[in-house]
Amino acid sequence: MNLLEVKNLKIWDVNTGNVIIHNSSFHLKKGSCLAIVGESGSGKSLTCRAIMRLNRPSLHQSGDILFKGENVNNLPEKEMRKKRGRSLCMILQNGMSAFDPSCVIGVHLKETLAEHFEWNKNEIEEKMKNAMESVMLKNPKEIMNKYPHQLSGGMLQRIMIAMTIVLEPDIIIADEPTTALDTISQFEVIEQLIKLRERMGCSMIFISHDLGVVRKIADDVLVMKDGKIVERGSTQALFSEPKHEYTKYLVTTRLALSENFKKIMRGGAKVAEG
């Protein structure tokens, strides 16, 4: 069953008339992970923000976005706000922009959860504490009393993932969620997202330029270039037999980088032995 269906999505800038996304159509199956890949400026993030209806006012969109059969493109903003977080949850690329800089993290978390659940303050704190510990954040209560600028980008990213664990949405949209993290933290966060899917049975749209991560987490892949979907298919098929020239370029570049990294590591090991 398709949990989400996007039909003929078009996004354009009303100030310039420039069309940025050209009639994109795709679907997300229940319980599956769809990756959207492509270079910067290909339209990956704009497409996902369109699903959440979070693009800036100068960007207009048309087409159908069917979530459980309901066209969210036609919903009043008040109704859409109820869907955001509880049904459709987005983990943003930049953790700093996701939180109100004027209040401590705990206030933001409590306000968000109070909007969707009838929990008291202690229940919210306990659920957030458990979720934060599950994504390797130590001293959750101390973190909740800090302002966003007092925390690293990586910590803010993990807080967003912890919030998602508590919200238990139907669809998680992860927009390059590991960009701000070091390699070890990236691995841990990806493992957390995989466990999250297994535990909740939720569906996921995963935006990334890292094909290694995509190969690990995604069931299906969309390849975007210049605002158009140029190829789609199962992760296995796309990596083993890419058809479009651009996809071939992405895959071969990834393999070349991987081989180069292995050579460097082998060289380093020889030097260490010597």
Give the confidence band of 265 by pLDDT, cuts at 50, 70, 90.
low
Q: pLDDT tens-digit profile of 162-195?
A: 998 899 899 999 998 877 677 777 777 788 888 8
Residue 160 pLDDT > 60:
yes
85 vs 62: which has the higher pLDDT: 62
Q: Which fold has domain 2-241?
A: Rossmann fold (3.40.50)
Percent of the chain with pLDDT over 90: 57
What's the confidence (pLDDT) of residue 53? 94
Return the domain boundaries, the chain. Answer: 2-241, 242-274
* Mean pLDDT of the residues in the chain: 87
DSSP codes, the chain: -EEEEEEEEEEEETTT--EEEEEEEEEEETT-EEEEE-STTSSHHHHHHHHHT-S-TTEEEEEEEEETTEEGGGS-HHHHHHHBTTTEEEE-S-GGGGS-TTS-HHHHHHHHHHHH----HHHHHHHHHHHHHHTT-S-HHHHHTS-GGGS-HHHHHHHHHHHHHHH--SEEEEESTTTTS-HHHHHHHHHHHHHHHHHH--EEEEE-S-HHHHHHH-SEEEEEETTEEEEEEEHHHHHHS--SHHHHHHHHHHHHHHHHHHHHHHHHHHHHH-
Q: pLDDT tens-digit profile of 111-133?
A: 989 988 989 989 999 999 999 99
Worst-scoring range by mean pLDDT, 11-20, 88-97, 134-143, 150-159?
Answer: 88-97
Give the confidence band of 271 by pLDDT, cuts at 50, 70, 90.
very low
Q: pLDDT tens-digit profile of 77-103?
A: 999 988 998 899 998 777 777 888 999
Q: What is the pTM of this model?
A: 0.86
